[in-house]
Each structure stands twice: as structure tokens, then as C-alpha cells.
């Protein structure tokens, strides 16, 4: 009989590593590549949409961003099921550009003001849920959402009295949970 042992692991560097800042976004290259991607996608998909790629000004951390705005007859198609197709196109564009995942927030797709409305909706939901947690003392768990949306809620409630936020779960099932500030995780 052969005895099998799990390989022993040598002690290595601490897991608490400091993450380096994301590389700068090459805006000119990204815009060229996005235009190529959009030309090909809109033509082959036969979408009745016009699009515009806009470079937004540099923000406080020294990075600019790019917004692709769609308009046309197929806008409702992009916005069906909580903008599933719009978000899928954005995801494919990130892959097309081979973006570092930390730069995904710098390239956004929008249609009919969806992003601004969704941002307002998330902020309102966060405030209402936080108030409910304060009143009941019970945790509130949001449905699974993207890292971008979880981050918006974390930022909205940062420093809010009486609550704390935590992301739990893995992959596309990751959820944001609001806990009373005085309680520990349940």
C-alpha cells in the first residue's frame, strides 16, 4: 500500500500584499479598438443603432475614461432584462481590448441614460436598506450583482451611521450584505 501525503507548503511571503495601481489606460488606442469592435459588431448583428465614443476628462486619480453611448431603433433591445445585452457588449469590449480588470470601470457603455438611472436606483436602494437595518437590527442581503454595482453601494454607505457593508460569496453569486455596525457577521 502506498501512503499518499499532501504536499507540504513552504512558508512564503505574507498574503497581505499591497496591490499596485492599475496601468494607465491608453485612451487613443482603446478608442481606435472600440470603434473597430463596434463597427464589426453592429454590422454583423444588424443592429439599428448609432453609437458615439467619448473620452471623458481625467479625474482626481489622474485617469480618464471612455463612454460609448448608443441611440437608435434598437435601444429597447439593449435595455431589456436590466440592460443585459448592453452589459454583455461592454463585457465583450473589455475582452476585445484585453483590459486589465482594474480598468474595466474606465470603459463604460450606456444607452438612453441607463447608467445614471441605475446609479440613482442603487443609491436609493442602499439608503433604504441601511435604514431598515438600523430599525430592525437585522442584516439585509442584496441579490447578486456585479463588482461595479457592489462598489457603488459600498461607497454610498461608507461612513453611514449604524451600518457596515460586506461582500460575500464567489463569482457571479457574490452579494452585498448590510449589517448593523454593532453586530458581528451571522
The length of the chain is: 186
Q: Which of 5, 82, 95, 106 is nearest to 41 (CA)?
A: 95
Per-residue pLDDT of 130-164, as tens digits, reads 999 999 999 999 999 888 889 889 999 998 999 99
Per-residue pLDDT of 32-50, as tens digits, reads 999 999 999 999 999 999 9
Whether the per-residue pLDDT at 12 is higher than 60: the answer is no
Give the pLDDT score at 3: 56
Domain positions in the chain: 27-112, 117-180
Per CATH, the homologous superfamily of domain 117-180 is R3H-like domain (3.30.1370.50)
The residue with greater pLDDT, 75 or 25, is 75
pTM, 2 dp: 0.71
Whether the per-residue pLDDT at 59 is higher than 80: the answer is no
For residue 56, name the pLDDT band (cuts at 50, 70, 90). confident
In the 3-class helix/strand/coil scheme, how is the chain assigned residue by residue?
CCCCCCCCCCCCCCCCCCCCCCCCCCHHHHHHHHHHHHHHHHHHHCCCCEEEEEEECCCCCCCCEEEEEEECCCHHHHHHHHHHHHHHHHHHHHHHHCCCHHHHHHEEEEECCHHHHHHHHHHHHHHHHHHHHHHHCCCEECCCCCHHHHHHHHHHHCCCCCEEEEEECCHHHCEEEEEECCCCCC
Average pLDDT, the chain: 86
**Which architecture characterizes domain 27-112 according to CATH?**
2-Layer Sandwich (3.30)
Amino acid at each position: 500500500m502506498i501512503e499518499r501525503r499532501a504536499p507540504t507548503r513552504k512558508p512564503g511571503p505574507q498574503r497581505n500584499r499591497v496591490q499596485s495601481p492599475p496601468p494607465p489606460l491608453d485612451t487613443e488606442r482603446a478608442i481606435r479598438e472600440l470603434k473597430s469592435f463596434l463597427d464589426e459588431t453592429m454590422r454583423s448583428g444588424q443592429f439599428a443603432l448609432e453609437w458615439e465614443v467619448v473620452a471623458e476628462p481625467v479625474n482626481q486619480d489622474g485617469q480618464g475614461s471612455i463612454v460609448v453611448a448608443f441611440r437608435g431603433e434598437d435601444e429597447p433591445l439593449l435595455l431589456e432584462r436590466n440592460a443585459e445585452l448592453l452589459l454583455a457588449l461592454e463585457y465583450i469590449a473589455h475582452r476585445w481590448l484585453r483590459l486589465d480588470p482594474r480598468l474595466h470601470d474606465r470603459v463604460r457603455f450606456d444607452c438612453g441614460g441607463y447608467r445614471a438611472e441605475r446609479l440613482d436606483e442603487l443609491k436609493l436602494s442602499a439608503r433604504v436598506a441601511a435604514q431598515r437595518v438600523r430599525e430592525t437590527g437585522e442584516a439585509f442581503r442584496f441579490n447578486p450583482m456585479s463588482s461595479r454595482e457592489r462598489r457603488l453601494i459600498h461607497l454610498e454607505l461608507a461612513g453611514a451611521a449604524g451600518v457596515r457593508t460586506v461582500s460575500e460569496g464567489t463569482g457571479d453569486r457574490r452579494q452585498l450584505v448590510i449589517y448593523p455596525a454593532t453586530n458581528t457577521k451571522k
